[in-house]
A = this chain, B = another copy of it.
Amino acid sequence: MTFSITVLGSSSALPTAKRFPTAHLLNAYERFFLIDCGEGTQIQLRKFKLKFSKINHIFISHLHGDHYFGLFGLLSSFSLLGRRNALNIYAHSELENILNNQFKYYELQFKINFHKLPVNSSEIIYEDKNIFIETFPLKHRIPTNGFLFKEKKRDLNLRKDVVQEYKLSVKDILSIKQGNDYFWENGEIIKNTQLTHLPYKTRAYAFCSDTAFYPEIVKYISNADILYHEATFTEEMKDRAKNTYHSTALQAAEIAKMANVKKLLIGHFSSRYKDISILENEARSIFENTLAVIEGGKYTIEQEREIN
């Protein structure tokens, strides 16, 4: 059951020759969720051989151009490629006007289900049998949303062969998966731990771009397996970060530490940094498990059993 993120763009507002603006693609159980859609996202999707057709949900954190100017081309291509099933877009309400105005002159051949994101509050905005998605406010110049993509809690897993060994009925199986012991026909009580494995841990990916240093978000993202947090500047440019409502690499690492996440990914790099290892090293000085994202980089969260 895949749970992985592919980064399509790592630059801040000004792209460089090598770095595209923000876009992440989450594969959760072979469902694809696009998070932000900077200019050139469709080109990056092709370059990294990711399937367009599987994207049914697009999340836009905020309405600065480097986070959504790629939508127009992507949606046009969807239409040209024969898409007819509806697309869900989660964004601030103004985007609906922008899209309507844009596609007045070129009609898309599929429907858009537009979901308005809440401003200044958290909310579950999506749910299926495997995952749910929660949005929460970040701190930026305009309303901006973070997203937490989280697996649902699972039942206990039945051990191999026990169904046949004890001739379990569907009713028995449901009861065992809920943690009950089993009363065998010979009178023996079979302990639940002999019949089941603990389920896999629930995995979580948190996406936070763009934002000033904002410890308010810690409660939403705590214990995430991967936190993506913007790191536009180094600590040396802390004042500029503050004035523009962005973060330094050190601040991203502080948030990661406070939230006790397993891994920190940093991105949204200012075009002034030709070599991004300076940002990575700064974050690692207080949060070792940090990676500066690269375009096309795939970051997988593996399944792990709970431990008794």
Q: Which of A96-142 contact B (CB under 8 A)?
A: 97-98, 101-102, 105-106, 142
| A198-211 contact mask (Cβ, 8 Å, vs B): 1 or 0 | 00000000000000
Nearest CB on B from A296, distance (A): 11
The answer to whether B20 and A43 touch across the interface, beta carbons within 8 angstroms, is yes
Q: Which residues of B contact A49 (CB under 8 A)?
A: 17
- Shortest A249–chain B CB gap in Å is 21
Are B39 and A43 in contact, CB atoms less than 8 angstroms apart?
yes
Per-position binary interface string of chain A over residues 225-254, scored 1 when its CB falls under 8 Å from any chain B CB and 0 otherwise: 000000000000000000000000000000
Against B, the Cβ 8 Å flags (1 = close, 0 = not) of A37-75 are: 001101100110100000000000001111001101100
* Top 8 A-B pairs, shortest CB-CB distance: A39-B73, A17-B46, A17-B47, A101-B101, A65-B76, A40-B40, A69-B73, A69-B72
- A77 is contacted by which of B14, B42, B101 (Cβ under 8 Å)? B14
B46 touches A15 (CB 8 A): yes
Q: What is A's interface to B at a CB cutoff of 8 Å?
A: 13-17, 20-21, 39-40, 42-43, 46-47, 49, 63-66, 69-70, 72-73, 76-77, 80-81, 94, 97-98, 101-102, 105-106, 142
Interface centre among A63, A76, A97 (most CB of B within 10 A): A76
CA gap between A81 and B63 in the complex, in Å:
19
Q: Are B17 and A64 in contact (CB under 8 A)?
A: no
Q: With A65-B76, A73-B65, A105-B63 as given contacts, are A15 and B39 in contact (CB-CB < 8 Å)?
A: no
**Complex CA distance for A69 and B106, rounded to whole angstroms:** 12
Interchain Cβ contacts under 8 Å between A and B, 18 examples: A14-B80, A15-B46, A15-B77, A17-B43, A17-B46, A17-B47, A21-B73, A39-B39, A39-B43, A39-B70, A39-B72, A63-B106, A64-B106, A65-B73, A65-B76, A69-B69, A98-B101, A101-B102
A43 & B15 in contact (Cβ 8 Å cutoff): yes
Q: What's the Cα separation between A20 and B44 when bound, in Å?
A: 11
Residues of B within 8 A of A105 (CB): 63, 94, 98, 142
Find out whether the CB atom of B106 lies under 8 angstroms from the CB atom of A101.
Answer: no
